[in-house]
Amino acid sequence: MIHTIWPYAAALIPFLGAAFIFYVIMKGVLEGDRRERLAQRKWDAEHGEADQLSSKENG
């Protein structure tokens, strides 16, 4: 029984390992992108208000 299943398992194990590594890497990339967008939005909100205030004072 195990002799008939082993070739299929041997073919699937490397694929599943590579798929798992790909998943972990892509999850990290997407999470980093999400955090960067939030930080950029926060920075724009903080500095955008300061720029608007200084332009009103100068104008």
The predicted pLDDT at position 52 comes to 63
The predicted pLDDT at position 31 comes to 97
Domains of the chain: which residue ranges? 19-59
The predicted pLDDT at position 25 comes to 98
pTM score: 0.65
pLDDT at residue 55 greater than cutoff 90: no
The predicted pLDDT at position 57 comes to 63
- Tens of pLDDT along 15-49? 999 999 999 999 999 999 999 999 999 999 988 86
Helix residue ranges, H only, 1-59:
2-58
C-alpha span between 26 and 12 (Å, rounded) = 21
The predicted pLDDT at position 59 comes to 54
